[in-house]
Amino acid sequence: MRRFPDKLGVIRVVVAVAALVASDAARADGPWNGKPRSHWDRADVHWILFNSPWVRRFRRSKRALEFEVPDHGPSDMELGGYHAKESKEDGAETAEFYIRWVSSRTLRAASARGLALRKPGPANPAETDSPRLLDEFEVAVAGPDMSVFERTREAALRSRGYLWVSSRRKIAASRVEFARSGTGQVRGLLFRFPRKTADGEPLISTHDTKVWFIESGGEVAIRVSFELQAMVDESGPDL
């Protein structure tokens, strides 16, 4: 006897898929869509810099490293904010690093707006207008505790830092810059990647859906992914 699919089950699946799509759309929405930059308040700036699609948090337990197969990328990746910290959970030290796609117009505008909100006087149009497109992709790893990178050389980070695009294209880092405090401590890393090939072709196209930032040149290997469809502002793709 031929069995027909359970219509109620099919409906439940459709509803679940629709809910997931709606949830993804909600996560991609934010003050960068439709709200003038001059109207962003402190909460908007915080949301963009800490919870937007241009920010990823990477968390790794030091205790787990003892059992990890060498050269395998970490698996615990989440959305998050900007800083890094050390904490202890169940006897294990957990390191958190926050990776931001800082070449995006949205993040640069939020940073400028944040500075404007912290100083008195009328807003400067240059602080609220859309920033110009940068010649390179820029990805930053930053936070208050970057001690694991104190002994790392720029050449090591550059040779083992790259972007991996969903179209199976690898974009090698062209340079890496260290941000240091007044006492010389590492406070952040800035990775620069070319936007185009030598022939002028874009290295990340509108057909790509995801890009991974991978860095294994330091004491802690970092791997996070960015969803390109969510990294869009009123002017289009924002990388």
Residue 75 has pLDDT above 50, yes or no: no
- Residue-level length of the chain: 239
| Whether pLDDT at 4 is above 80 | no
Instruction: Average the pLDDT over 109-131 and give the result.
Output: 74
Q: In this model, does residue 157 exceed pLDDT 80?
A: yes
Confirm whether 76 is domain-assigned. yes
154 lies in some domain:
yes
Residue 191 counted as domain residue = yes
213 domain-assigned: yes
pLDDT at residue 231 above 80?
yes
Q: How confident is the model at residue 202 (pLDDT cuts 50, 70, 90)?
A: very high
Outline where DSSP puts E strands in the chain: 55-61, 77-78, 85-89, 92-100, 136-142, 161-165, 169-172, 175-180, 186-194, 210-215, 222-227, 232-233, 236-237
Top-ranked range on mean pLDDT: pick from 41-50, 86-95, 124-133? 41-50
| Within-domain flag for 192 | yes
Q: Is residue 2 part of a domain?
A: no
**In terms of DSSP bridges, do strands 85-89 and 222-227 run parallel, antiparallel, or are they unpaired?**
unpaired
**Full domain range(s) for residue 114:** 7-237
Local confidence band at 196 (pLDDT 50, 70, 90 cut-offs): very high
Whether 6 shows a pLDDT value over 60: the answer reads no
Give the separation between CA 40 and CA 129, rounded to whole angstroms.
12
DSSP state of 134: P
- Count how many domains the chain has: 1
Asked if the structure places residue 103 within a domain, the reply is yes
Q: For residue 1, is it within any domain?
A: no
Q: Is the pLDDT of residue 108 over 90?
A: yes
Q: According to the model, what pLDDT value does residue 126 have? A: 53
Q: What is the pTM of this model?
A: 0.74
